[in-house]
Amino acid sequence: MKTTLTSLAVAASLLAAPAAMAADKMLLKTPIAFSTSLPGLGSPIPRVAEQLDLMSGGTLKMKVYEPGKLVAPFEILDAVSSGKINSGYTTAGYWAGKIPAAPLFSAVPFGPEAGEYMAWLYYGNGNALYQEMYDQAGYNVHVMPCAIIAPETSGWFATEIISPSDLEGLKMRFFGLGGKVMQKLGVATSLLPGGEIFPALEKGAIDATEFSMPAIDARLGFHKLVKFNYFPGWHQQATVFELMINKDVWNGATEQHKAIIENACKASMTDSFAEGEAIQHAAMIDNVENNGVQIKQWNDEMLSTFRSTWEEVAKEEAANDEFFAKVLADLTEFRTGYAVWKENAFLPRK
């Protein structure tokens, strides 16, 4: 009898297994804010999709939708929160108009480089504050960093910029908190998705632009219209990209699927950073040798002006929004401690 009962239990478990596996299957429909043709910017997420499938044995899949194919880039947050879609890949800086603190989880002027940023996110309070930000603002999303790139270029201009007065009156595409700095310096800024920047330059709707790293900007063809490319990217020393999942969907996922998604995104942080670092020099050399681009470094006066103006912006944003102040204070405290390590361990830049 014991053998019979055991046999029946095994048979029942085998019959139940397919049903359980079917119930545990998950499909993330993921519109993205950046074309997958843009290396380091949009290219990480298809690789994440591939890894989710492989690591889960096919029970967890992600279907990636190019910008605008399912949801417009600037609508992704609301769509994920409402459940219109169950996930999205974008960057928190796009939500500055909805959540003042959001840009602090995307790129900070004169802020942390990639290694320091990841240290704060994973081993400081960064990720906890990141989730708290969306919760406090009433968005029904679970968020995790899922890609990061190193410094961007500081912008593409039609003429040389020698002094702060040269910026006055310019119309420029600019991202995040750096855009508020430029506004204080007399620049009329607009935040355009990547695919809209070249036509805007071509038509004269904007005079200058920043977007991303040289190899990414090359895909968008800015060098055809504006020839002065400035460095360093003071406004974005590192930029974080996020995978958002509707919180009800996340809460209903198995622990295995949650772990696979989290670890695929952690791997993507490494992979995207490495990809970005590997391909910039070739694009810069090509720009100079074949495209007539002049690579320029900001002079000391300009960098000093950008920094002092950013400090003004940071104080104003903190005074206007309690949560911005909370995040900035935490990041600043972490960076103060990190500076002890950085200043002693790393070779000086000059």
CA nearest neighbour of 302 among 206, 234, 239? 234
Q: Are residues 232 and 131 in the same domain?
A: no
Pick the last residue of a domain from 261, 278, 295.
Answer: 278
Q: Are residues 56 and 142 in the same domain?
A: yes
Q: What is the CATH number of the domain that holds 341?
A: 3.40.190.10
So what's the pLDDT on residue 24? 86
Q: Are residues 285 and 274 in the same domain?
A: no
Q: Please state, in angstroms and rounded to a whole number, the distance separating the CA atoms of residues 105 and 145.
A: 9
Q: Which amino acid is located at 72 in the chain?
A: A
15 located within any domain: no
Q: Are residues 64 and 142 in the same domain?
A: yes
Q: What is the domain count for the chain?
A: 2
Q: Are residues 121 and 243 in the same domain?
A: yes
Pick the last residue of a domain from 251, 278, 305.
Answer: 278
So what's the pLDDT on residue 25? 94
Tokens standing for residue 211 = 């977007």
Q: Which residue has the tokens 């050399």?
A: 285
Q: Are residues 176 and 225 in the same domain?
A: yes
Q: Are residues 284 and 273 in the same domain?
A: no
So what's the pLDDT on residue 13? 41
Q: How far is CA 301 from CA 85, 155, 162, 211, in A?
A: 47, 17, 9, 23
Residue 267's domain spans which residues?
26-147+238-278
- Taking the complete model, does pTM exceed 0.85, yes or no? yes
Q: Are residues 183 and 141 in the same domain?
A: no
197 located within any domain: yes
Q: Are residues 67 and 132 in the same domain?
A: yes
So what's the pLDDT on residue 125? 98
So what's the pLDDT on residue 5? 36
Q: Are residues 195 and 324 in the same domain?
A: yes
Q: Are residues 256 and 288 in the same domain?
A: no
249 located within any domain: yes
Q: Are residues 79 and 47 in the same domain?
A: yes
What tens-digit pLDDT sequence spans the chain (350 residues)?
444 434 434 344 434 334 344 448 999 999 999 999 999 999 999 999 999 999 999 999 999 999 999 999 999 999 999 999 999 999 999 999 999 999 999 999 999 999 999 999 999 999 999 999 999 999 999 999 999 999 999 999 999 999 999 999 999 999 999 999 999 999 999 999 888 999 999 999 999 999 999 999 999 999 999 999 999 999 999 999 999 999 999 999 999 999 999 999 999 999 999 999 999 999 999 999 999 999 999 999 999 999 999 999 999 999 999 999 999 999 999 999 999 999 999 998 76
So what's the pLDDT on residue 322? 98
Known binding residues for substrate are 152, 173, 210, 236
Q: What is the CATH number of the domain that holds 130?
A: 3.40.190.170
Known binding residues for Na(+) are 211
Query: Which 3-state string (H, E, C) describes the chain?
Result: CHHHHHHHHHHHHHHHHHHHHHHCCEEEEEEECCCCCCCCCCCHHHHHHHHHHHHHCCCEEEEEECCCCCCCHHHHHHHHHHCCCCEEEECHHHHCCCCCCHHHHCCCCCCCCHHHHHHHHHHCCHHHHHHHHHHHCCCCEEEEEEEEECCCCCEEECCCCCCHHHHCCCEEECCHHHHHHHHHCCCEEECCCHHHHHHHHHHCCCCEECCCCHHHHHHHCHHHCCCEEEECCCCCCCEEEEEEEEHHHHHHCCHHHHHHHHHHHHHHHHHHHHHHHHHHHHHHHHHHHHCCCEEEECCHHHHHHHHHHHHHHHHHHHHHCHHHHHHHHHHHHHHHHHHHHHHHHCCCCC
54 located within any domain: yes
163 located within any domain: yes
So what's the pLDDT on residue 14? 39
21 located within any domain: no
19 located within any domain: no
Known binding residues are 152, 173, 210-211, 236
303 located within any domain: yes
